[in-house]
Amino acid sequence: MTKPLNPKIERLVHISRTKPLIPDEYVPWEDDPTSAPFFMPEKLTSLEGLPIYDQLTPEQKRELGRHEVAQVMYSYGWSEGLACLFFNRYLLTLTPDNIEYSYLIQMLIEEFRHQDMFAKSVKRINGKPILPSFLHNYIGNLAPRYMAPSLVFISVLAVEMITDIYGKMLRKSPEVYSVIRKVSELHHIEEGRHIYFTKMFLERYTAKAGFFKRTIYSLAVMLNVYFMRTLYVKKEIYERIGLPNPEQHYQLAKKHFKVKFAEMCLGETIEFVKSFNGFNIITQPLWKKVLGVKKF
Ligand SMILES: [Fe+2]
Ligand SMILES: [Fe+2]
């Protein structure tokens, strides 16, 4: 399993060691959440673009963003906890003189800091996250323990690419609460390096993958993106902000958000799947149906 030294990974290790981003220093935790106009950019909220959104009061719009961003932050932390479970498992197959071993340790340190930061940000905005469903929990816990490393790495990458799009949009929205913006900025910087490493790592698997494996990789990416998309479109949130007929709005929002998410968030992921020829007669119709992708 020992890999030859790779200068690109050595560089990543060096940056992580010499330029750590410490959430307690980087994020202005003292800033008051009550004076923030928004907690999430309006276009990322599940109802924006539907007629009901225009009927919400400013306070309801703000509350929708607060509940949804709490859900996003909590879910990132949850999925990073699972990723760490896998990184630890994989680490035990390497020797400490391996450069990937060194970078995985750095990733673990950063991911643990991120989880702490996400938990703190949820608390700061007084969020009440809705916990993952039984199925999410079941699959989420099985995969990092037993799935092949290439499949887990590709799943982690899929999640990281989506969180990165959110990170970019959140940090560039001046109307959003400063704590959420800085948390997103920090995460965006460090995840950029994780994505770079994971893509490089995966090339050794995807470059020689045949039709069957490319299909499986493509479907793993698709299912992880589906998980990310369904994170915060929740009936309970519509109940909390006092919408009448929450079930009806939930059904409308699910369809609406699927379209919006495909337009806003899938560019980099689609390019990645294309890079290993992951779209074929089996996967393409599924990507269309499950994620609403129109252009490949
Ligand atoms: Fe992270
Ligand atoms: Fe990461």
pLDDT tens figures, 5-51: 589 999 999 999 999 999 999 999 999 999 899 999 999 999 999 99
- At residue 272 the predicted structure's pLDDT band, cuts being 50, 70 and 90, is very high
Tell me, in angstroms, the distance from the centre of ligand 2 to residue 188's CA.
Answer: 9
Q: Is the pLDDT of residue 174 over 60?
A: yes
Q: How far apart are CA 68 and CA 180, in angstroms?
A: 12
In a domain, residue 123? The reply is: yes
**Are the CB atoms for 61 and 53 separated by under 8 Å?**
yes
Indicate the residue type of 160.
E
- At residue 141 the predicted structure's pLDDT band, cuts being 50, 70 and 90, is confident
% of the chain exceeding 70 in pLDDT: 98
Q: What is the pLDDT of residues 143-154, one digit of tens each?
A: 889 899 999 999
In a domain, residue 25? The reply is: no
In a domain, residue 4? The reply is: no
Could you say which ligand is closest to the alpha carbon of residue 83?
2
Tell me, in angstroms, the distance from the centre of ligand 1 to residue 248's CA.
Answer: 34
Give the CA radius of gyration of the chain: 19
Residue 266 φ/ψ, nearest 5 degrees = -100, -5
In a domain, residue 109? The reply is: yes
Average pLDDT over residues 92-117: 96
CA 281 distance to own-chain centroid: 27
Domain count for the chain, please give it.
1
In a domain, residue 286? The reply is: no
Average pLDDT over residues 265-286: 96
Could you say which ligand is closest to the alpha carbon of residue 191?
2
In a domain, residue 22? The reply is: no
* pTM, two decimal places: 0.93
- At residue 2 the predicted structure's pLDDT band, cuts being 50, 70 and 90, is very low
CA distances from 165 to 3, 128, 192, 212, 231 (A): 31, 24, 11, 29, 15
Q: How far apart are CA 156 and CA 198, in angstroms?
A: 8
- At residue 136 the predicted structure's pLDDT band, cuts being 50, 70 and 90, is confident
Tell me, in angstroms, the distance from the centre of ligand 2 to residue 211's CA.
Answer: 28
- Count of C-beta atoms within a 10 Å radius of residue 95: 9
User: Which residues does 25 contact at the CB level (< 8 Å), separation at least 6?
Assistant: none
Indicate the residue type of 283.
T
**Are the CB atoms for 13 and 99 separated by under 8 Å?**
yes
Tell me, in angstroms, the distance from the centre of ligand 2 to residue 192's CA.
Answer: 8
In a domain, residue 26? The reply is: no
Could you say which ligand is closest to the alpha carbon of residue 156?
2
Range of the domain at 101: 39-45+58-196+226-266
Element (H, E) at 259: helix 246-265
Could you say which ligand is closest to the alpha carbon of residue 161?
2
User: The CATH number of the domain where 177 resides is what?
Assistant: 1.20.1260
In a domain, residue 158? The reply is: yes
Tell me, in angstroms, the distance from the centre of ligand 1 to residue 111's CA.
Answer: 5
